[in-house]
Structure 1
Amino acid sequence: MNHQDEKDKVKLFGIRSSPYVLKVIWALRIKGVKYDYIEEDLGNKSDLLLEYNPVHKKVPVLVYQGKPIAESEVILEFIDEAWKHCGDPILPEDPYERAMTRFWARFGSDKLSPPIWKWFTTQGQEQEDAYAAAIEQLLVLEKELCGKRFFAGEKIGFVDLSLGSLAYVIPIYEEITGVKMITEETFPSLTAWMGNFQSSPVVKDHLPPLDKLQLRYQAIREKFLNSKN
């Protein structure tokens, strides 16, 4: 292989347990893009990672024609535009629909994730209050999904990728806390979406090892609870 061929290869720097890295992997699969995957050790970051992402020094980083792109949702938009005519679209063409897609992805990170995380890492009244706040936001999301197979319709799109980790993380949180958050009675559309998402061809072979993830989250919860005692 000559130097030019090497430069043109698509590379992804990540860690497979990261939901931010996984959504990039899922997006690349939607577009049918071949890439080299480089697993990073975040306790001993490679010189290349630090060179490619000197601002945040984090994964994921996608390298395209020798140029790095950082931040997962920036990468998703780039993938959709760079391989516009490959696979299914990740973002809709219509400007309004594109704006609403970004709105719901931001809703997930700004309004939904914080109370879910607080519920998982607290106990007592603080946990109960966080649970109520999370349920309130999940009901908003349930209404938006409204019987659709995916947030994008019949196929996975930007919002599905952005919220995808909820499909496997929330069941882990429920198992650890012993508290059910998403029930089929209250959240029929979200329950169906979680199953549809995890079983989709794009996703099912590219999930983190859930048993190891559960042990990791168990340790995180215990650390948080112990720090407050």
Structure 2
Amino acid sequence: MAEMKLLGNSLSPFTHRVEWALKIKGVDYELIVEDPQNKSPLLLQLNLVHKKIPVLIHNGKPICESMVIVEYIDETFEGPSILPKDPYNRAIARFWAKFLDDKCLPAMGKALFGNGEESDKAKEECSELLKILDNELKDKKFFGGDKIGFADIAANVMAFWMGITEEASGVILVTSEKFPNYYAWRDNYISCSKVKEYLPSRDELFSHLQSRFHPTAAPN
């Protein structure tokens, strides 16, 4: 039997991408919890380039970067396909995953966690990017059509984590009036029974994020 270990953290959307892929394929694994503020020697040894989670260890061999790991899992194990079989549709799924990671997440991070002019500019950028996503999701339940696929897994942070971060920060970037298709996709993703089963505790994530925005706030 293959030995499968995952260095990660249950509150991390990037760890969740990998866990979700492993669940889709029915692959058993051991989660080795990492503290992002106090990285273990093992993590630093196995991810020399980025020094961050997640890292999948399959039979002693490490694979880094969440979406690279998801592709590896899809190609290595039997079970439902995560990437489409059609080459064109596979390319489109990879395009949206890269768009989300390279464009949307950095802008979202600056808008929600930044300050002053940087945050204001990022909010404007987020609005334009969300318009693109909203248009792409028109008449579609998920990025891949009727079922969750590769691009949806890449977008998990935009579904679950983004909404809770908005609430914790008090900065609202998404409304149903402004981005109805994107808003509906987010609800569909979070409401999916299989996804819901493996999402982290909402209260725990909210508390964690709130402590970042209000580090000096005294507990009640």
The TM-score normalised by the length of structure 2 is: 0.87
Deviations 1:52-79 (A, max 9, x none): 3333332211122222211111100001
Inter-CA distance 48–127: structure 2 relative to 1 (3 Å threshold): closer
Which of 193, 197, 202 pairs up with 1:210?
202
Once residues 152 and 41 of structure 1 are traced to their aligned partners in structure 2, the CA distance between those partners, rounded to angstroms, is: 33
Aligned pair count? 215
Inter-CA distance 133–48: structure 2 relative to 1 (3 Å threshold): closer
| Distance apart, 1:99 and its partner CA | 1.5
Structure 1 unmatched runs, 5+? 224-229
1:65-80 correspondence to structure 2 within 5 Å: 65-80=59-74
Which of 177, 189, 197 pairs up with 2:181?
189
| Distance apart, 1:104 and its partner CA | 0.8
Root-mean-square deviation (CA, aligned residues, Å) is 2.1
Query: Quick one: percent identity of the two aligned structures?
Result: 46
1:8-87 correspondence to structure 2 within 5 Å: 8-83=2-77, 85-86=78-79
Inter-CA distance 118–11: structure 2 relative to 1 (3 Å threshold): same
SS in structure 2 of the partner of residue 205 of structure 1: helix
Once residues 132 and 74 of structure 2 are traced to their aligned partners in structure 1, the CA distance between those partners, rounded to angstroms, is: 27
SS in structure 2 of the partner of residue 34 of structure 1: coil
1:22-171 correspondence to structure 2 within 5 Å: 22-83=16-77, 85-86=78-79, 88-123=80-115, 126-171=118-163
CA contact (8 A) 1:27 1:90 kept: yes
Structure 2 unmatched runs, 5+? 216-220
CA contact (8 A) 2:169 2:210 kept: no
| Distance apart, 1:51 and its partner CA | 3.8
The TM-score normalised by the length of structure 1 is: 0.84
Inter-CA distance 125–12: structure 2 relative to 1 (3 Å threshold): closer
CA contact (8 A) 2:13 2:161 kept: no
| Distance apart, 1:43 and its partner CA | 4.3
